[in-house]
Amino acid sequence: MNILIAADSFKDALDTFGVCDAIAKGIQLANPNIKITKFPLADGGEGTSDILMHHLGGHKKEIVVCDPLLRPIHTDYVISEDGKTAFIELAKSSGLQLLADNERNPMLTSTYGLGEMINDAIHEGVTNIVLSIGGSATNDAGMGMAVALGFRFYDEAGQMLDGRGQNLAKVVHMEVDDEVKEALTKISFTTICDVTNPLYGSQGAAHVFGAQKGATQEDILLLDKGLIHFAKVMETISMAEKDGAGAAGGVGFGAMLFLQSKLCKGIQLVMEMTKFEDAVRRCDLVITGEGRLDGQTAHGKLIQGVSAKAAKHHKPVIALCGALIASTEDIRNLGLKAAFSISNGPQSLEQALKNTTQNLEQTAFNVVGCLE
């Protein structure tokens, strides 16, 4: 038997490489004769640039940019082997994980550092930039990114605004020099994300994701009004309503507006670029997984993408996850043969995160033991 392990990271617990290693160890303990192929994946969130470099080669460029609160931070992005493409991950400059719990406030955070990363890649001479925008700490519609790239935003008094969530509602005018626009038009941008939310409204960036970024209920209402106002001032209402415009606190929208970027489902693009389908053809069973499997997994998440590709080649898929919230109908609709939570008993979140490696190994061991 040839088992393909194609898993995502378990957020706050284990990166995708560690997840694949743990599952592989459990399989080997159950049956050392099984052939294992590890294929770490990502769907546009944290770790995507590292996944692409793992499969495609290239090198990291280390730089200093601003973090979400405009403090200097050391980070990196990936340049492809031919030097033509940069893989830039928003989470490495403007990510939620860069902030302590008491620092998280999307009224104050900015994507300015993301713009600095893009500028650096342009100066390196790339002609293609792939942005993965999961894991943001922001709700500024990409305004901070735009400021770093040379766009200027003004309030009613003619004062220049920096790019933060609280300033969206204050913008009345935008300016950008021709040389900035010209430089950006020479780059082909692709933005990958794993959500389909519009920019604003009940399913928009602020209402759906604001609380997890530290916003109060009052903040959420103000941010949503700010997003609506910003889209009107930019005269881009139809763009704001597109699927993915609300990704990363509106960076999906900002990427389309300021970079003329196309938006792609993260898992689809990653699978295409890494030739995942070739690995599926050669296996007998796929074991996938991510931290949480719920009703949203069917909407562009990694497990959904893996299941769809496996179904095309009539390969069964088993999913392992930290939290199994999906119903039997959800699991069936995803095309999974089965899904298992790796939790082995009552425990705190802290304990569950700490025991992720061990629990993945044990669950993989038990699952594969049933296949014999």
Encode pLDDT of 223-263 as tens digits.
999 999 999 999 988 999 999 999 999 999 999 999 999 99
Whether the CB-CB separation of 130 and 190 falls below 8 Å is answered with: yes
Confidence band for 299, pLDDT divided at 50, 70 and 90: low
Confidence class of residue 44 from pLDDT cuts 50, 70 and 90? Answer: confident
- CA-closest candidate to residue 54, choices 97, 92, 2, 15: 15
Please tell me the predicted confidence (pLDDT) of residue 300. 53
Q: How many residues does the chain have?
A: 372
On whether the CB atoms of residues 319 and 291 are closer than 8 A, the answer is no
Residue 178, number of CB atoms within 10 A of its CB: 7
DSSP secondary structure string, 44-95? Answer: SSTTHHHHHHHHH--EEEEEEEE-TTS-EEEEEEEE-TTSSEEEEETHHHHB
Whole-angstrom distance, CA of residue 321 vs CA of residue 289: 5
pLDDT tens column, 107-129: 999 999 999 999 999 999 999 99
In sequence order, the 6+-apart residues with CB closer than 8 A to the CB of 27 are 3, 5, 34, 36, 287, 364, 365, 368
Whether 290 contacts 45, CB under 8 Å: no
Q: What is the pLDDT of residues 145-183, one digit of tens each?
A: 999 999 999 999 999 999 999 999 999 999 999 999 999
Q: What is the pLDDT of residue 11?
A: 80
**DSSP one-letter code for 136:** B
- Cβ 131 vs Cβ 148: under 8 Å: no
Task: State if pTM tops 0.85.
Answer: yes
Rounded alpha-carbon distances, angstroms, from residue 309 to 95, 204, 276, 335, 336: 30, 29, 9, 10, 12
Query: 75 has which bridge partners?
Result: 63
Decide which of 45 and 49 is more confident: 49
Q: Which pLDDT does position 46 carry in this prediction?
A: 79
Q: Is the predicted pLDDT of residue 322 greater than 70, yes or no?
A: yes
Q: Using pLDDT thresholds of 50, 70 and 90, give the confidence band for residue 312.
A: very high
pLDDT band at 327 (very low <50, low <70, confident <90, very high): confident
Q: Tell whether the model's pLDDT for residue 297 goes beyond 70.
A: no
169-223 pLDDT, tens digit each:
999 999 999 999 999 999 999 999 878 899 999 999 999 999 999 999 999 999 9
- Mean pLDDT (the chain, rounded): 93
Q: Residues 6 or more apart from 148 whose CB is under 8 A from it? A: 66, 112, 113, 114, 115, 116, 118, 119, 163
296 pLDDT tier (thresholds 50, 70, 90): low
Q: What is the mean pLDDT of residues 307-327?
A: 93
pLDDT of residue 298: 54
> Within 10 A of 264 (CB to CB), how many other CB atoms are there?
18
Q: What is the pLDDT, as a whole number, of residue 372?
A: 65
Residues 6 or more apart whose CB falls under 8 angstroms from that of 372 comprise 30, 31
Out of 106-110, 114-118, 136-140, 296-300, which region has the weakest mean confidence (pLDDT)?
Answer: 296-300
Query: Which domains, and CATH codes, for the chain?
Result: 2-31+276-369 (3.40.50.10350), 48-267 (3.90.1510.10)
pLDDT score at 291: 86
Distance CA 101, CA 347 (A): 22
Q: Quick count: other Cβ atoms within 10 Å of Cβ 229?
A: 16
CA distances from 181 to 85, 175, 240, 309, 324 (A): 20, 11, 21, 39, 46
Confidence bin at 362 (pLDDT 50/70/90): very high
Q: What is the pLDDT of residue 370?
A: 86
What span, in angstroms and rounded, lies between the C-alpha atoms of 88 and 280? 27
- Give percent helix, percent strand, percent coil of the chain, each to the nearest 5: 45, 20, 35
- Is residue 350 classed exposed, middle or buried when 0-12, 13-18 and 19+ CB atoms within 10 A define those classes? exposed
